[in-house]
């Protein structure tokens, strides 16, 4: 993309009402624009990152054997009456009536709808196990929408639902989700710690929240510091292998790690004092197993192998897709702007032309641009007739992890400058070498 032809409204001023850094930087980097309280338009740069995050979520869900689909945002109140949640959900639910005065709502989640779908088609245990998911906008009329995309009213969520014959199978689905989430967040450059949590209005006995540690997090958390040494890395997992998933779950959940809702001082005090931490965290996902409650209320039964009619065991599993942008920025920024992890960066590399209009500099930038494009990488080329200082400040704000600076002086010596946004370190290299270096960095992702 050439910046002169893009739509990237970078702001110089810090927006007055943005309280936390991710919100400020998303506004300043021209990623989002507030439409009304807790509702945002995704401008091109923000939309690009949102899509990258979605893509990682899709890949990791499907790696675990889960099936993508799409349900609508608007739902009928009837299903929610069957589950008993129409009244229970309270003022957070946005209720709408259509021209025929039919009661509708903007879905805050989809347990009812997916259970109704499965109840309509699945009649035999042979169709199980089954996990369906979608990535769809949700609406919750939060009392205090704040911190930009972190606590929105309209927000994008991955919500997945497992349907199993037995509790044991459903707990395997629970474990499978926990394991696949570990890898999902790591690919985004995040450490998200599974913590024992409270099930809230979704209900159920088993639930973990995934928290990214950050001072601006809304949740208070308590954990054993050993947990932050754990890495999932690129281990190969057979997601059908119950023992393997169980072992990973145990590895990542056996140490103390809880939100304030489940925190028990006495149990925490058994952790050696030097390892006890209390901190704040951003909840980027939550998984639940809740048994047969929804299946019974919405009629999701199958015949088991003996011919008996039994309700399905279910769980639901959410990832805060739009919130993740805020969480990633909270975890990765400096005073100049965002620092995108390579896995989610909107463009792979920035090209800064120090002397627009200089035939040699323009030519070198164009060659770099085609070299990257030919390799399937996306460069953002700042080809505007702007002062170098402005170009650098913009690049730093939008946070591309790698920048190549091209100027007549370097070109005389046959070199361009490759700079890491994270470390600020620069290296002079021939242009082909710089391309090779950047390509290698992204090759493994």
8 touches ligand 5CA by CB under 6 A: no
Q: Which stretch binds ligand 5CA (CB under 6 A): 185-193, 219-227, 283-291, 348-356?
A: 283-291
Closest distance to ligand 5CA from the beta carbon of 133 (Å): 8
Closest distance to ligand 5CA from the beta carbon of 250 (Å): 22
- Distances in whole angstroms, Cα of residue 443 to Cα of each of 127, 183, 195, 417: 38, 18, 33, 21
Interface of this chain with ligand 5CA, residues 103 to 132, rule: CB under 6 A: 109, 111
Closest distance to ligand 5CA from the beta carbon of 427 (Å): 38
Fill in the per-residue mask, 262 to 281: x = in contact with ligand 5CA (CB under 6 A), - = not in contact.
--------------------
Q: Which stretch binds ligand 5CA (CB under 6 A): 245-253, 313-321, 388-396, 420-428?
A: 313-321
Looking at beta carbons only, is 89 or 125 nearer to ligand 5CA?
89
Q: Count of CB atoms within 10 A of residue 130's CB?
A: 16
Which one of 40, 80, 125, 155 is in contact with ligand 5CA (CB under 6 A)?
A: 155
318 touches ligand 5CA by CB under 6 A: yes
316 touches ligand 5CA by CB under 6 A: yes
Q: Which stretch binds ligand 5CA (CB under 6 A): 20-28, 152-160, 398-406, 431-439?
A: 152-160
Residue with tokens 């700079």: 419
Which one of 60, 283, 330, 382 is in contact with ligand 5CA (CB under 6 A)?
A: 283
Strand partners, 156: 137
Q: Which residues of 246-269 are buried (b: 16+ CB within 10 A; e: fewer)?
A: bebbeebbebbbbbeebbeeeebe
Residue count of the chain, please give it.
445
151 touches ligand 5CA by CB under 6 A: yes
Closest distance to ligand 5CA from the beta carbon of 150 (Å): 6
157 touches ligand 5CA by CB under 6 A: yes
Residues 421 and 441: their CA atoms lie apart, in Å, by 14
Which one of 313, 317, 333, 391 is in contact with ligand 5CA (CB under 6 A)?
A: 317
285 touches ligand 5CA by CB under 6 A: yes
Which one of 75, 175, 286, 353 is in contact with ligand 5CA (CB under 6 A)?
A: 286
162 touches ligand 5CA by CB under 6 A: no
Closest distance to ligand 5CA from the beta carbon of 154 (Å): 8
Looking at beta carbons only, is 281 or 410 nearer to ligand 5CA?
281
134 touches ligand 5CA by CB under 6 A: no
Looking at beta carbons only, is 315 or 350 nearer to ligand 5CA?
315
290 near 213, Cβ under 8 Å? no
Q: Is 175 exposed, middle or buried (0-12, 13-18, 19+ CB in 10 A)?
A: buried
Interface of this chain with ligand 5CA, residues 319 to 348, rule: CB under 6 A: 320, 322-323
Closest distance to ligand 5CA from the beta carbon of 138 (Å): 7
Which one of 66, 140, 258, 391 is in contact with ligand 5CA (CB under 6 A)?
A: 140
Q: Which stretch binds ligand 5CA (CB under 6 A): 21-29, 79-87, 147-155, 330-338?
A: 147-155
Which one of 52, 82, 130, 142 is in contact with ligand 5CA (CB under 6 A)?
A: 142
83 touches ligand 5CA by CB under 6 A: no
208 touches ligand 5CA by CB under 6 A: no
Closest distance to ligand 5CA from the beta carbon of 407 (Å): 43
| Binding residues for ligand 5CA (CB under 6 A) | 109, 111, 140, 142, 151-152, 155, 157, 159, 202, 283-286, 316-318, 320, 322-323
């Amino acid at each position: 993309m050439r910046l002169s032809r893009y739509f990237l409204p970078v702001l110089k001023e810090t927006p007055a009402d943005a309280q936390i850094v991710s919100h400020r930087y998303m506004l300043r980097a021209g990623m989002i624009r507030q439409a009304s309280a807790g509702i945002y338009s995704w401008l091109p740069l923000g939309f690009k990152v949102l899509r990258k995050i979605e893509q990682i979520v899709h890949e990791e869900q499907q790696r675990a054997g889960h099936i993508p689909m799409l349900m609508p945002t608007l739902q009928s109140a009837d299903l929610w009456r069957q589950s008993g949640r129409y009244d229970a959900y309270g003022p957070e639910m946005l209720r709408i009536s259509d021209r025929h005065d039919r009661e509708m709502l903007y879905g805050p989640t989809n347990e009812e709808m997916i259970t109704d779908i499965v109840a309509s088609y699945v009649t035999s245990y042979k169709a199980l196990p089954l996990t369906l998911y979608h990535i769809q906008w949700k609406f919750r009329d939060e009392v205090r929408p704040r911190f930009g995309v972190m606590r929105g009213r309209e927000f994008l969520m991955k919500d997945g639902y497992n349907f199993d014959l037995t509790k044991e199978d459903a707990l395997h689905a629970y474990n499978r989700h926990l394991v696949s989430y570990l890898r999902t967040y790591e690919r985004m450059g995040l450490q998200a710690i599974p913590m024992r949590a409270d099930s809230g209005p979704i209900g159920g006995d088993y639930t973990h929240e995934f928290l990214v540690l950050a001072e601006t997090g809304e949740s208070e958390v308590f954990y054993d510091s050993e947990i932050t040494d754990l890495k999932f890395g690129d281990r190969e997992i057979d997601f059908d292998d119950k023992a393997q998933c169980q072992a990973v779950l145990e590895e990542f959940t056996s140490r103390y790690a809880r939100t304030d809702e489940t925190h028990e001082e006495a149990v925490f005090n058994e952790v050696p004092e030097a390892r006890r931490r209390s901190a704040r965290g951003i909840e980027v996902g939550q998984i639940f197993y809740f048994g047969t409650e929804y299946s019974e209320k919405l009629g999701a039964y199958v015949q088991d192998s003996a011919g008996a009619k039994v309700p399905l065991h279910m769980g639901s599993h959410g990832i805060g897709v739009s919130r993740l942008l805020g969480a990633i920025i909270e975890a990765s920024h400096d005073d100049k702007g965002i620092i995108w992890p390579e896995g989610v960066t909107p463009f792979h590399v920035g090209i800064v032309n120090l002397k627009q209009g200089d035939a040699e500099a323009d030519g070198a930038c164009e060659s770099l641009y085609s070299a990257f494009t030919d390799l399937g990488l996306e460069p953002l080329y700042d080809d505007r007739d702007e002062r170098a200082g402005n170009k650098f400040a913009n690049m730093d704000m939008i946070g591309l992890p790698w920048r190549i600076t091209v100027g007549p002086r370097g070109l005389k010596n046959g070199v361009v400058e490759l700079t890491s946004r994270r470390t600020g370190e620069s290296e002079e290299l021939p242009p082909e070498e710089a391309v090779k270096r950047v390509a290698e960095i992204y090759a493994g992702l």
